[in-house]
Amino acid sequence: MDNKHIVLLATGSFNPPTNMHLRMFEIARDHLNHLGFTVCGGLISPTHDLYKKKDLAPSIHRCAMIKQALVALPWVKISDWEVKQSCWTTTRNVLQYHQNFHDIIISSIRNGDEVDTSLFPVQFVKNINAKDLNQNMAINIRLLCGADLLESFAIPGLWKDDDIEAIVRDFGLVVVSRSGSNPHKFIYESDILTKYMANIIVVTEWISNEISSTKVRRALSRNESVKFLISDLVESYIKEHGLFGTLNK
């Protein structure tokens, strides 16, 4: 099976989405292109409200902010499947759902069936020509994350070993370095990650930038500037809805 066609899927809170979330996709795509992969598209899947992270804005606002942020990054789409479920979904199952969906689309196209393009960002398949489809072409949904998310695999009780193994075995990871983290050392120290090392691509961010949603929320609540840290459209949305302590500021 060919796994050269990749759709990058990023999970997280996106509370709010920052310019670094967008950069992560660009950095990863450049790196994968250099390695000979074809990046057919990207997806952002914000986590469910029941993930219960401190200060997590309601998903309706997080989805709206992501849509505003993605105006500047049209090759990446939001998937609101996760937030629409009745409870929180593990990352393994989020990946599996999106993998299944793409498998169905590819096989429908191969069979000449009608594909309901309103269902999903089928723009991914625009990048794929008919010749590819006639062969063994498949789309590989890969988890795109920062090194801190990778390192959270070691937090006791947070991730099931089974899930970690399935994520690296069945989908693969693209990990963008973040200051203070050492993904190569982390992989070396984990038996599961070492076993599936071939499926983990570490991308070094040479133009490192420590923008984080936490710092952006702090600046917003203090009425400090967040210009050039998040998109102007996201900033307007936040202020219009009084999110993150911006009410009456």
Ligand X SMILES: NC(=O)c1ccc[n+]([C@@H]2O[C@H](COP(=O)(O)O)[C@@H](O)[C@H]2O)c1
Give contact residues for ligand ATP (rule: CB under 6 A): 10, 12-15, 18, 20-21, 24, 145-146, 148-149, 176, 178, 209-214
> CB of 65 within 8 A of CB of 30?
no
Any residues with CB less than 8 A from the CB of 129 and at least 6 apart, and which? none
Which of ligand X, ligand ATP, none is residue 176 near (CB under 5 to 8 Å by kind)?
ligand ATP
Q: How far apart are CA 245 and CA 222, in angstroms?
A: 8
Which listed option, ligand ATP, ligand X, none, makes contact with residue 132 (CB within 5 to 8 Å by class)?
none
CA 101 to chain centre: 16
Closest distance of CB 180 from ligand ATP, Å: 10
Q: Which two tokens stand for residue 249?
A: 């500021």
Q: How far is the CB of 93 from ligand X (least distance, A)?
A: 8
How far apart CA 39 and CA 34 sit, in angstroms, is: 11
Q: Using CB under 6 A as the criterion, which residues of the chain lie in contact with ligand X when the complex forms?
A: 11-13, 47, 51, 53, 90-92, 149, 158-159, 163
- Sign of CA pseudo-dihedral 82, 87, 54, 190: negative
Which of ligand X, ligand ATP, none has residue 214 at its interface (CB below 5 to 8 Å by kind)?
A: ligand ATP
Residue 75 touches which of ligand X, ligand ATP, none (CB < 5 to 8 A by kind)?
none
